[in-house]
Structure 1
Amino acid sequence: MWGPPGTAVRSIRPYRSSEQYLYAMKEDLAEWLKELYDLDIEVGTFVEVLETGAVLCSHANNIKHVAEEFARACPGVACHLRLPTAGVACNLAAQPGTFQARDNISNFIQWCRKEMDIKDVLMFETEDLVLRKNEKNFVLCLLELARRAARFGMRAPTLVQMEEEIEEELRQELDLPPTESPLPRTPRKPRDLHNLDQMVWRGIRCTCPVQFPMIKISEGKYRVGDSDTLIFVRILREHVMVRVGGGWDTLEHYLDKHDPCRCTSLCESLPLPPVTWGPRAPPSPRPPATPSPEGLGRPPGASPRREPAQPRRVPSSR
């Protein structure tokens, strides 16, 4: 079993809607890696188990092995795909934060770029994992790697399987030919679409006089807002997920960004920045005033003498 000893399950703190999609993706990847490699990994220990780079490099080498088997079984299809041809050097005994751990992670990053052609926008840096600077890009990189490896038979996380289902549904609607899939896909558990509808309506929870529209078009497909925007919705464990572009978001976070009522509420509830009191700066010295000729000979502090006002002459009515 891979992973550092003592990686017990930790309690998960409540998270804001802006963090839910990242939590949901980490949860899905943790369960996927646990089933693939019998890892002692949960969402609360996700980074701890992977921060030495040993699991990442072993995962890369396993992907290369699956690609070799695919090339032997389906040479006609394999010649049209970009398959990894090299593995990754790995130090399985590396400890967190050490040079060996950084070297493992760096090797994995270079392998993703060179062998799997993952673009920089979906990549992460060594410090992002070692110092936990950017967990989001690290998670996105693992998901993209899973998508590419699934093309030649690697078992995919649930999120990637749901993406394939949606793409197949779109192909059928547009009457497009099915994609060539020489290897059988692992069937996913049946979807509870009735429960999905209930969770969607519970997630909207709009009590405004004019409610934000979310109209069901078909199973798992809804039209949102005043436009013709269509979204695909799926259940991922306890999360209601929305397919957005090439990725995913939680329904709650999606509505927070698109429902005008929620946007206004979020803006009004944002706390003001704290006021910090620093040492008071001494007043800057004023330049000495240059006395005017009229003020010469006047005692200090005396007000300047004013000439008496001349009475206004009122023109005669004659």
Structure 2
Amino acid sequence: SKSIRPFRSSEEYLEAMKEDLAEWFNTLYDLDIQVDTFLESLETGCHLCRHANNVNRIALDFQQRHPEVAAHMRVPQNEVVFQAKNVTPGSFIARDNVSNFIQWCRQDLGIQDVLMFETNDLVLKKNEKNFVLCLLEVARRGSKFGMLAPMLIQMEEEIEEEMRDQMGYSVLGTHQESRDLQVATYPSRVRPIALCDLKNLDELVREILSCCSCPSQFPMVKVSEGKYKVGDSSTLIFVRVLRSHVMVRVGGGWDTLEHYLDKHDPCRCSSL
């Protein structure tokens, strides 16, 4: 059977996010971006700036249709000026395009520095991680206005909805009332979220855990579909499948289960 660990775990989570972002860009703009050349496909800044202006347009439409909700959101408005024709990668014009996109991310979206990248990070491919994290954050913001989101962001929203439902049961008492809260939070979202197939998730989790041959394996107990208690504490994590990757929701982002275990399982930590 095909291995679900084709990379070193320290690289796999980046590969998983690039796959997701490439598919998302291709779907939005009818492009043919490949994972292996993901940064090269975007290094002129043209697709990035075009996307920024598209987010502006959708955000403005959202603001006009839902002014009360938009009043509590940061709505981007400033058009990103860029040159789209005959742009050579690495040229001054390409750098200027990327710089304008970065400025929009900072000033219009207010993306925090820890998720930002610099022009050379993309043009010279110096910091792939931050570029990918920034694009995911841009996708999150666009999703709040009803824009199509990458699968990772859709899975985040699915998990958040599950958590709201749990809170709704305990605080409001009924499932329907908690659903109403979700509709109020995202009034423009009429498309169904593409839910993760959890059918074989536990089998994949067990396969990854079985890579450790210690007599006493790192504990990871299934609590419910896609939710596990890990370690000796009562820490709960959400787990999802993204193509060939088993992903873990960590804080405000994602990691692969392999990489997560490499950092938290004492046995794996000592073997690295």
What TM-score, normalized by structure 1, do the two folds share? 0.77
Greater alpha carbon shift after TM alignment, 257-266 vs 56-65: 257-266
Report the counterpart of residue 139 of structure 1 in structure 2.
132
Report the counterpart of residue 63 of structure 2 in structure 1.
71
Pairwise CA RMSD of aligned residues? 1.2
Partners of 1:40 and 1:148 in 2: CA distance: 24
Report the counterpart of residue 157 of structure 2 in structure 1.
164
Partners of 1:209 and 1:174 in 2: CA distance: 39
Partners of 2:63 and 2:249 in 1: CA distance: 31
- Unpaired runs of 5+ in structure 1? 1-13, 267-318
Secondary structure of 2:117's counterpart equals coil
Q: Runs (4+) of structure 1 moved beyond 3 Å?
A: 188-191
Report the counterpart of residue 252 of structure 1 in structure 2.
258
Partners of 1:173 and 1:101 in 2: CA distance: 47
- Unpaired runs of 5+ in structure 2? 1-5, 172-177
**1:293-308 to 2 correspondences below 5 Å:** none
Secondary structure of 1:194's counterpart equals coil
Partners of 2:146 and 2:97 in 1: CA distance: 25
Corresponding residue to 2:224 among 184, 208, 218: 218
**Higher Cα Rg: structure 1 or 2?**
1
- What displacement does 1:71 show? 1.6
Partners of 1:185 and 1:125 in 2: CA distance: 35
**1:12-27 to 2 correspondences below 5 Å:** 14-27=6-19
Partners of 1:134 and 1:39 in 2: CA distance: 24
What one-letter code is carried by the residue in structure 1 that aligns with 2:39? V
- What displacement does 1:187 show? 2.1
**1:184-223 to 2 correspondences below 5 Å:** 184-205=189-210, 206-223=212-229
Report the counterpart of residue 92 of structure 1 in structure 2.
84
What TM-score, normalized by structure 2, do the two folds share? 0.90
Greater alpha carbon shift after TM alignment, 17-26 vs 180-189: 180-189
- What displacement does 1:112 show? 0.7
Corresponding residue to 1:43 among 35, 58, 64: 35
2:247–2:254: 8 Å Cα contact kept in structure 1? yes
Superposed CA deviations along residues 171-216 of structure 1, whole A, max 9, x for unmatched, are 1222265242211243234433221111110111132111111100
Partners of 1:118 and 1:235 in 2: CA distance: 27
- What displacement does 1:76 show? 2.0
Secondary structure of 1:83's counterpart equals coil
What one-letter code is carried by the residue in structure 2 that aligns with 1:214? M
Query: Identity over the aligned pairs, expressed in percent?
Result: 64
Report the counterpart of residue 174 of structure 2 in structure 1.
none
- What displacement does 1:153 show? 1.2
What one-letter code is carried by the residue in structure 1 that aligns with 2:267? C
Is 1:62 the counterpart of 2:54 in the alignment? yes
Secondary structure of 1:262's counterpart equals helix
Partners of 1:231 and 1:145 in 2: CA distance: 24
- What displacement does 1:68 show? 1.4
Report the counterpart of residue 126 of structure 1 in structure 2.
119
Partners of 2:13 and 2:111 in 1: CA distance: 21
Higher RCO (CA 8 Å, separation ≥ 6 residues): 2
- What displacement does 1:229 show? 0.8
Report the counterpart of residue 153 of structure 1 in structure 2.
146
